[in-house]
Amino acid sequence: MTQLQALSKEELQSRLEELTKQYEDYQGENLNLNMSRGKPAPEQLDLSMEMLDLFDQHSTLHAENGIDLRNYGGLDGIPEAKQFFAQMLAVDTKEVIIGGNSSLTLMHDTISRAMFHGVAGGARPWKDEAKIKFLAPSPGYDRHFAICEHFGIELIVVEMQEDGPNMDEVEALVREDELIKGIWCVPKYSNPSGAIYSDEVVERLTNMETKADDFRIFWDDAYTVHHLSDEKIEVKNVLETAKAFGNSDRPYVFASTSKVTFPGSGVAAFAASEENIADAKKHMSVQTIGYDKINQLRHVRFFTDVISLEAHMEKHAAIIKPKFDLVYNTFREQLGNKGIASWSEPKGGYFISLDTPAGTATDIVQMAKEAGVTLTGAGATFPYGKDPEDKNIRIAPTFPTLKELEKALDVLCTCIELKSVEKLLS
């Protein structure tokens, strides 16, 4: 297919008529398809059902340190859960706290604590500063941005590249501005582009000079075991690297089993320096007497006695990889070489980042909606929901069936081309 830009006005006009007819046909089908949020498909949830059979009323529910899991106690997690997450995140067990069912809650609470009480070693609570700011490598994860927006923290967009944020931009900003207290990072299979942080980026982030001496890296390792290819990518260990540079308190690491077992019923973890862990525990003890220890042990047993974590994640990949492949193949067939779209082809994670011509994403998402296909809102991948170029669309292919996905992609490609042709003709 030729680049659309190379077509004559008459050719574009006739293509517009074809596409409009196609779009109207889709509208007549009364579709109801959803590619908006990164949810596992039901078959993926089935993979963890055995976990529910591990305990019944006859089970001995004690942790290895003797704690009765049915009762209060064990604020920071049972030892075997700490060992599990310490291994997954390649940190020491003394550097881990086990939380509740959501890593997002841990991130929210970490910021809330910093706002009201300051961070370990910090001079004062962040709320006492004139205006706190965070760096937001974008496109990024909308819920990270929402936490900051909720607390009135200003977000500064920095460019997201294939190997992490543009570090020249990051370094220049943090060196000058004392009010920049943090940066959001999804280091492996980033949401939404699938970017993988390079060693150099990890080193520069942990070593850079920051005007704020209480600067923190919010290292959301949500997709650390979510590989889609045989290549099991390792990102340089952020805690270890920060320690080596004498900045051990800088990273806060978050992870969960949400997309490993059951989103909403998984286990979350927080990893950081021992000083940061002690500080977090102090505040956590006011918030809860302890999290769900039965669920912690259920997870540990499932992955040590029933199936290994790696084997389990391979089963997930076998279900979702064909969906990612379908997206790439459809985009290549229907949009490739037309000069109107580019997209990421990640090696893991849950999303694909799609760029359409500048100024079209909002209209494309709306058109798709009017034809029964719901996508993540345009702009959602940028702070305040504002994509400055209005071109980025996040594709979440895991939840729909292959058949639904095929239809949804056909509709989306039609909308993209239709909007692009209209733009060229205007």
Do 373 and 35 meet the contact criterion of CB atoms below 8 Å apart? yes
Q: Does residue 191 touch ligand PMP according to CB under 6 A?
A: yes
> Which residue of 44, 193, 224, 256 would you call a contact of ligand PMP, by CB under 6 A?
256
Do 411 and 26 meet the contact criterion of CB atoms below 8 Å apart? yes
153 three-state secondary structure: coil
Q: Which stretch binds ligand PMP (CB under 6 A): 102-110, 196-204, 284-292, 378-386?
A: 102-110
Q: Does residue 186 touch ligand PMP according to CB under 6 A?
A: yes
The interface mask with ligand PMP, positions 339-378, x = CB under 6 A, is ----------------------------------------
Tell me the sheet residues that pair with 216: 182
How many residues at the interface with ligand PMP, by CB under 6 A? Answer: 13
The interface mask with ligand PMP, positions 214-243, x = CB under 6 A, is ------x-x---------------------
**Cα dihedral sign, 8-10-16-21:** negative
DSSP 337-406: TTTS-EE---SBSS-EEEE-STT-HHHHHHHHHHTTEEEPPTTTTSGGG--TTS-EEEE--SSS-HHHHH
> Which residue of 4, 33, 38, 367 would you call a contact of ligand PMP, by CB under 6 A?
38
Q: Does residue 104 touch ligand PMP according to CB under 6 A?
A: yes
| CB nearer to ligand PMP: pick between 335 and 380 | 380
Q: Does residue 99 touch ligand PMP according to CB under 6 A?
A: no
> Which residue of 141, 145, 189, 291 would you call a contact of ligand PMP, by CB under 6 A?
141
Closest CA to 143 of 376, 343, 395: 376
> How far apart are the C-alpha atoms of 399 and 403, rounded to whole Å?
11
Q: What share of the chain is helix, strand, coil (3-state, %, to 5)?
A: 45, 15, 40
Ramachandran assignment for 264, one of left (phi > 0), alpha (psi -120 to 50 degrees), beta (any other): left
| CB nearer to ligand PMP: pick between 103 and 330 | 103
Q: How far apart are CB 368 and ligand PMP at their closest, in Å?
A: 21
Q: How far apart are CB 333 and ligand PMP at their closest, in Å?
A: 28
Q: Which stretch binds ligand PMP (CB under 6 A): 74-82, 100-108, 170-178, 337-345?
A: 100-108
| CB nearer to ligand PMP: pick between 189 and 215 | 189
DSSP 23-38: HHHHHHTT--EEE-S-
Burial of 207 per CB tally in 10 Å (0-12, 13-18, 19+): middle
The footprint of ligand PMP (CB under 6 A) covers: 38, 102-104, 141, 186, 191, 220, 222, 256, 258, 263, 268
